[in-house]
Amino acid sequence: MAAFGKLYRLSATMLLSGLAAGELTAEELMESTLARIEAVNPRVNAVVSLRPASELLAEARGKDAERGGGPLHGLPIAIKDLAQTKGLRTTWGSPLLADFIPDQDDPFVARLRAAGAIVIGKTNTPEFGLGSHSYNPVHGRTVNAWNPDVSAGGSSGGAAVALATGMLALADGSDMMGSLRNPAAWNNVYGFRPSYGLVPDNPTGEMFLHQLATNGPMARSVRDLALLLDMMAGPDSRLPHSLPAQSAFSGQLEAEVRGRRIGWIGDWGGHYPMEEGVLSLCSEALATFSDLDVEVVTVQPDFDPSAIWQSWTTLRSWAVAAKLGAVYENPERRAYLKPEAIWEIERGLALSGQDIQKASEIRSDWYRKLAALFQYYDALALPAAQLFPFPSEWDWPREVAGHQMESYHHWMEVVVPASLAGIPALSLPAGFGTQGLPMGFQLFGPRGGDAALLQLGQGYARAHGEIALAP
């Protein structure tokens, strides 16, 4: 193990290489992981429901005794607390589910276990994943990896912080409204929202109508991101929108990107309020692509961004009401819901069928517009957030750059163009603002163009350089 130095600083790719070669044992890696969590987690509160150390070390020794394990054999991982983990508490950040222990894994979790990963615990999230600020009454508040006084983002805030501080080498997340992108940007790591249907969800309940949220990978490098996506992705015949099998993403990263074009939307002609420094930092980061002979062109899509927001908020409230409506209808259970959840549910329950139809028509129009834009651009770019991390004691920012925010998620509007269309979006670290806080930008491309987007990300990662761990 001496040749590996401080294990928490190493990439998942390097750790897995050492495990496969017998130069590192799963028990050694588990000991290092638990030591890092013990040292760091009390400050940031990112890893929750951690299994007993004796149990985890025994499982690691069992991995060492096995022969011919899967691609993630012996690697510790913690699962976002919105995904079911068999035998391990899954709370969704809600007191209503504070003691819930599932009897089965979500599909992608089962795939990670089958690949040899050791599930050590969960990563923190806001209640039911609502809002990009990871706090809840069950596990408390997760704070930013770089400054404990500000937000970690969300809803994959625990995952991003665990990565940024070296407690995990890989982490899963989910993204409805930027939940893989905003926390990645605010903690200086990578987050990838795949094309809808690439990573299968649970084949239970209604499966046709709600196409807004998806699971995806987070990591400290694009190579590790692609490695985890290889494990999470793949068709599921039980799901109607499941995408067909594709070649391994990790094997496609090194393609030539010279000559590709990126359309930089910026603040969409002033529509998106931006805190000072966000646009300039993202523009400077995008300039990195010039070293790769990738052209970055300013573009203003010929589409009303207010219509995108209208469509999104309608479909999102409808989806939240469908998911949590039964809880709301029970007054005793409703009392345990946070105000933002109640607001979403009541808004969703008040919608008519024609409201949903109109929102879907706008979504269809936007998808058609994107298809036309992707005839000229290989990817489009926006900041991954509209402001730098805000004080952790806030519930959500009431204004951005002097503009009042109408709802608990209005300040996240910039992530909606990709989410509404169900297309892949990659959050890349842009660097740090003058106040020392991280920011990122997002690239998004056509549905099914996940590999091409990751190729652009890998080119950027090589030119940008290795990202540092939070202190």
pLDDT digits (tens, 9 = 90+) for 251-288: 999 999 999 999 999 999 999 999 999 999 999 999 99
Which tens digit of pLDDT belongs to each residue from 376-401? 999 999 999 999 999 999 999 999 99
**Residue whose C-alpha is closest to residue 139's, from 53, 51, 46:** 46
Which tens digit of pLDDT belongs to each residue from 207-236? 999 999 999 999 999 999 999 999 999 999
In a domain, 441, yes or no: yes
In a domain, 8, yes or no: no
Indicate which CATH number applies to the domain containing 183.
3.90.1300.10
What pLDDT, on a 0 to 100 scale, did the predictor assign at position 245? Answer: 87
What pLDDT, on a 0 to 100 scale, did the predictor assign at position 3? Answer: 56
Residue percentage of the chain with pLDDT more than 70: 99
In a domain, 180, yes or no: yes
Mean per-residue pLDDT for 137-164?
98
What is the rounded distance in angstroms from the CA atom of residue 112 to the CA atom of residue 108?
6
In a domain, 5, yes or no: no
Q: How many structural domains is the chain composed of?
A: 1
What pLDDT, on a 0 to 100 scale, did the predictor assign at position 4? Answer: 64
Q: Which of 1-5, 361-365, 423-427, 461-465 has the lowest mean pLDDT?
A: 1-5
Mean per-residue pLDDT for 133-151?
98
What is the rounded distance in angstroms from the CA atom of residue 189 to the CA atom of residue 320?
28
Which tens digit of pLDDT belongs to each residue from 40-49? 999 999 999 9
What is the rounded distance in angstroms from the CA atom of residue 264 to the CA atom of residue 464?
18
Coil, helix or strand at residue 36 = helix
What is the rounded distance in angstroms from the CA atom of residue 98 to the CA atom of residue 336?
11
- 15 pLDDT band (50/70/90 cuts)? very high
Mean per-residue pLDDT for 407-422?
98
In a domain, 264, yes or no: yes
In a domain, 3, yes or no: no
Which tens digit of pLDDT belongs to each residue from 57-80? 999 999 999 978 899 999 999 999
- 471 pLDDT band (50/70/90 cuts)? confident
Active site residues: 80, 155, 179
What domain range is 375 assigned to? Answer: 14-464
- 2 pLDDT band (50/70/90 cuts)? very low
In a domain, 158, yes or no: yes
Mean pLDDT rounded to a whole number for the chain: 97
In a domain, 254, yes or no: yes
What is the rounded distance in angstroms from the CA atom of residue 156 to the CA atom of residue 469?
18
Mean per-residue pLDDT for 95-124?
98
DSSP state letters, 99-129 = T---SS--HHHHHHHHTT-EEEEEE--SGGG
